[in-house]
């Protein structure tokens, strides 16, 4: 383990006291608490159906809009915009990771990305009428900013937690996020369901819910910014950091070829997480457009997901201590496949069965993501955390453009959201077999790290 530098920053988790680590871990949890409200209230619940309705208001008699002269079904606008947002993130995330490792200053970059995303989300209050292009632009800025901030946030994990702690710390972070998501969804449900009593229209209630997610994101980001420290491991000081960041990125891409097992894990994660992210972002569109469910039903279902995801993340963290993180994630992927199969056959206008499916999603959602993050933290060479987590985040959010694209194309070609949802099964099946082939313990050793007792 590296010692602290002369300016008092620390190199690794092992170079700090237990009290220091706990303080940073508690601050670290709160970025999940801050940003998860965007993922839940905006991306999962409100923006998909609302942006679709705004696009339909701008559509021609055949149901098409024409951005830049390209004919698109109004029902595909949200899925396509999500795809564009993650392509934008791909261009920015590796640079952010390289600059963070080059300068050792993750906190200012985290703050910039977080507040850009929070500002764009708050700006969604002005999304009304037929202004679907404004909504698409704000979604692109917010989604790509979140992805960049998560590169920097995740890169703290191997620096604030010892190897044996990481499954637990990562799972607690996800649990914090789902707790905040559930709490804000309750407030959203009260406002949306009783909008007439509050003297606002249904559309205005939705826009308030979107905007307050941005305010929440920005407000609670202050806590991790106060508690986290910049951990500098061989960091070069700042002059020419941006140009050096691009050069370092190219070196990182070449360097990653030295760790083929780490790359094998990333490939598996890219595939199955693409499916997870697409289910999360398109669930409300599927429920409203294909199953004919009202917004109150959708909010209640996502709230159920949030509540059960807290228990699921913590429960799967305990399973990982007994069976290993890899086996636990593989089990969750089998459950995801069954969930999509059941989703295809869900009857329309049957809220009870939609709630059952939401409960199943909640049971595996947090744990599959939290354990994947902790698994990858063991595969990162010391001193290259932000750069390697930029590649991870490209798999997490930054390269999760293929699933929404497949979903959008399936609907574009068939006009059926059932065909779109079942098309996602391939991501979980293929991801399962790719992950099963990765010898995780060997991958940890190849990265120069000490493996925990069970992986």
Can you give the pLDDT at residue 385? Answer: 74
- Give the Cα separation of 44 and 153 in Å (integer): 21
Strand partners, 73: 64
Global pTM reads 0.71
Can you give the pLDDT at residue 31? Answer: 95
In the DSSP assignment, the letter for residue 75 is: G
Cβ pair 381, 447 in contact under 8 A: yes
Mean per-residue pLDDT pooled into runs of 10, the chain (455 residues)? 34 60 90 93 89 92 87 87 84 77 82 97 94 94 92 84 81 84 91 94 96 97 91 51 54 78 89 88 85 88 83 84 91 95 92 92 85 87 74 60 82 87 93 94 87 75
- Residue 338 corresponds to which tokens in the numbers above? 């069954």
Q: Among candidates 451, 429, 422, 423, which has minimal Cα distance to 439? A: 451
Three-state DSSP state, 326: helix
- Residue 246 corresponds to which tokens in the numbers above? 């691009």
- Give the Cα separation of 57 and 131 in Å (integer): 9
Q: Among candidates 293, 273, 292, 289, which has minimal Cα distance to 411? A: 289
Three-state DSSP state, 73: strand
Angle between helical axes of 77-103 and 385-393 (0-180°, round to 10)? 170
- Give the Cα separation of 178 and 26 in Å (integer): 16
Query: Is 203 exposed, middle or buried, given 0-12, 13-18 or 19+ CB atoms closer than 10 A?
Result: middle
Can you give the pLDDT at residue 145? Answer: 95
Can you give the pLDDT at residue 386? Answer: 67
């Amino acid at each position: 383990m590296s010692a602290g530098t002369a300016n008092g920053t620390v190199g690794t988790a092992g170079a700090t006291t237990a009290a220091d680590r706990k303080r940073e871990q508690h601050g670290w949890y709160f970025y999940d608490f801050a940003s998860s409200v965007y993922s839940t209230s905006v991306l999962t619940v409100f923006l998909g159906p609302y942006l679709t309705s705004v696009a339909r208001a701008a559509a021609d008699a055949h149901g098409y809009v024409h951005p830049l002269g390209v004919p698109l079904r109004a029902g595909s606008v949200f899925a396509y915009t999500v795809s564009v947002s993650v392509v934008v993130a791909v261009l920015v995330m590796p640079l952010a990771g390289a600059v963070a490792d080059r300068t050792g200053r993750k906190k200012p970059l985290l703050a910039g990305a977080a507040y850009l995303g929070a500002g764009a989300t708050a700006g969604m209050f002005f999304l009304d009428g037929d202004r679907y292009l404004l909504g698409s632009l704000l979604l692109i800025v917010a989604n790509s900013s979140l992805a960049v901030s998560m590169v920097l946030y995740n890169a703290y994990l191997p620096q604030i937690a010892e190897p044996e702690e990481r499954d637990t710390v990562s799972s607690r972070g996800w649990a914090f996020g789902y707790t905040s998501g559930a709490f804000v969804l309750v407030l959203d449900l009260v406002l949306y369901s009783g909008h007439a009593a509050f003297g606002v229209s249904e559309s205005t209630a939705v826009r308030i819910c979107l905007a307050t997610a941005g305010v929440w994101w920005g407000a609670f980001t202050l806590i991790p910014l106060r508690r986290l420290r910049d951990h500098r491991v061989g960091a070069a000081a700042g002059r020419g950091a941006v140009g050096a960041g691009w050069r370092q990125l190219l070196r990182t891409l070449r360097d990653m070829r030295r760790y083929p097992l780490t790359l094998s894990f990333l490939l598996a994660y890219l595939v199955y997480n693409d499916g997870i992210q697409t289910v999360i972002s398109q669930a409300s569109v599927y429920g409203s457009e294909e199953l004919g469910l009202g917004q109150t039903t959708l909010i209640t279902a996502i709230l159920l997901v949030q509540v059960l995801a807290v228990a699921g993340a913590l429960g799967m963290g305990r399973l990982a201590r007994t069976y290993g993180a890899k086996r636990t994630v593989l089990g969750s992927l089998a459950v995801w496949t069954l969930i999509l199969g059941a989703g295809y056959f869900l009857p329309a206008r049957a809220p009870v069965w939609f709630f059952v499916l939401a409960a199943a999603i909640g049971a595996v959602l947090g744990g599959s993501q939290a354990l994947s993050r902790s698994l990858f933290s063991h595969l990162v060479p010391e001193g290259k955390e932000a750069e390697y987590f930029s590649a991870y985040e490209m798999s997490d959010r930054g390269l999760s453009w293929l699933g929404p694209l497949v979903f959008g194309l399936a609907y574009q070609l068939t006009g059926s959201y059932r065909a779109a949802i079942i098309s996602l099964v391939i991501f979980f099946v293929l991801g399962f077999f790719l992950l099963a082939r990765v010898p995780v313990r060997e991958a940890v050793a190849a990265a120069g790290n000490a493996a925990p007792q069970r992986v």
